[in-house]
Amino acid sequence: METISYQIADWVRGIKLSELPPSVVAGAKYRIMDLTGVMLAAKDLKVVKSARAACTETEAGGAIAPAGSKEKTSLTTAAFLNGIQASAMEFDDTYLPTTMHATGLALSVCFPESQRQPVSGQKLLESVLIASEMMIRLSIVTNRHWFDYGIHPTGSFGVFGGVCALGKMRNLDQMQIVHALGHAGSMSTALTAAFEDGTSTKNLHVGLAAANAFRAVALAQQGITGPTAVFEGKFGWFRSSVQTEDERHWERVTTELGKEWLTEHIATKLYPVANPLMPHIEATITLRDKYNIKPEQVAGIDAYIKERSFLTLCNPPEKKRRPLTTWHGRISIYHTIAEALVNGKMDKYAYSEEAIRDPIINGLADLVQPYPDPEATDYLRSQGRVVIRLKDGRSVEHKIDDFRGTRRNPLTEEDYLQKFRANVGDLLPADIVDRAIDGFLHLEKQDDIAPILRSLES
């Protein structure tokens, strides 16, 4: 019987955009536009600049530009920087059951490749959907939450998605894809250690996966073989990375592949934060505006969150109440609620260095107390409840069952356009932004996506 890698390779080679459901294609176009905006919004972050400086020492030279930049670098460095830009702000879309951030990884690979060879909008859509779907399906082989294992699923499965995208874009044959997937298995597994102390390694995970996808494919194209049972083998990825006896549902990777699209369950974020905190921002701002709440009026704040998110977003409280870095603030329930209550909005400028050290925000963070939410058990939903106790004795609360951007509470096209414009509007002239939007909304008609990307350089 053929291994999972063979089945994946055949699926990658056979996918045609014309045969996909219109809703799947439409969702992909919105997400591609959305994540492009996120990547541009993050291009001047300190971590991106520092990562580029580090790469200059090890991989100087090249002819490929990261998203939004005119400065050329190597193919793998561009992919690496794209991945950091896609993920560092925590503004990337999410498959909620496994917290998989798929689109950013896919674009981190596809955009550099589009400078290496002409890539049509149709090919881009096919490749992004292939990468996203495969990352999600690999992430549901087990029922356990990946963070329980100390594994960051996007960083770990991203290299496999990237290989699939490149396999489609380069028209690789079956064995080249199989061997590239085999190589990818030895280039994966991203640790969640940074979630504990707020250090910056997690920001690099998507970029490392994207760069390694290029390396895995290049090795396979040169005839270097990789294990053909890299997933389910006796010493395959799952057995070596997850050394427990949890049940493995291998059929989830390939059953109804190409017919059922789990990408339709991807949720888009309106706030730059870890996805389980999305409803808490929405609830906090709702209460702030409805009751005109000022920081000095607050006696305490109770926040109810899924129990499985406690480890990464609430503990240890002494560190999460005083984030070490701006990224650390994005995975802190204490700081997030406090900043949302003080500022009343959370856009690309949120979680600044000033914000994480603001004495008023820090004082409110000390008043936030998280609790497990016994009603939040559906992993396809992102629920949250916030109760604000006021010094005058009143207690007000608001609950979110599905934040805006989920399948049960979807964004409109105008929502996507507003987010894109908010992320790039201060970087580019309005007419260029409008033309880019038109290009993204009609991707399937583009013979070459490179002109759209070049227009976004600044």
Q: Is the peptide bond before 153 cis (omega within 30 degrees of 0)?
A: no
What pLDDT band is residue 238 in, cutting at 50, 70 and 90?
very high
Flag the least confident range among 136-145, 151-160, 241-250, 296-305: 241-250
b/e sequence 420-449, b meaning 16+ C-beta within 10 Å: bbebbeebbeeeebebbbebbbebbebeeb
Please give the average per-residue pLDDT across 149-176, as a whole number.
97
Q: Is the pLDDT of residue 280 over 80?
A: yes
pLDDT of residue 69: 94
Token pair of 92 as six digits: 């990337």
Instruction: Report the phi/psi class of residue 165: left, alpha or beta, with left for phi > 0 and alpha for psi in -120 to 50.
Output: alpha
Flag the least confident range among 38-47, 50-59, 169-178, 394-403: 50-59
CATH of domain 4-267: 1.10.4100.10
Sign of dihedral through CA atoms 90, 163, 171, 233? negative
User: Homologous superfamily of 275-400 in CATH?
Assistant: 2-methylcitrate dehydratase PrpD (3.30.1330.120)
pLDDT digits (tens, 9 = 90+) for 51-104: 999 998 888 788 999 999 999 999 999 999 999 999 999 999 999 999 999 999
Mean pLDDT rounded to a whole number for the chain: 95
b/e sequence 356-395, b meaning 16+ C-beta within 10 Å: bebeebbebbebbebeebeebeeeebbbbbbbbbeeeeee
Please give the average per-residue pLDDT across 347-374, as a whole number.
97
Domain definitions of the chain by residue range: 4-267, 275-400
What pLDDT band is residue 407 in, cutting at 50, 70 and 90?
very high
pLDDT of residue 246: 75
28 Cβ contact list (under 8 Å, min separation 6) = 125, 128, 129, 132, 263
Dihedral, CA of residue 117, residue 120, residue 123 and residue 129, to nearest 10: 110
pLDDT of residue 229: 97
Please give the average per-residue pLDDT across 213-241, as a whole number.
96
pLDDT of residue 144: 82
pLDDT of residue 310: 87
Token pair of 417 as six digits: 């356009």
pLDDT digits (tens, 9 = 90+) for 179-197: 999 999 999 989 999 988 8
pLDDT of residue 245: 75
What pLDDT band is residue 1 in, cutting at 50, 70 and 90?
low
4-267 matches 275-400 in fold: no
281 Cβ contact list (under 8 Å, min separation 6) = 271, 273, 336, 337, 340, 346
Token pair of 2 as six digits: 């053929």
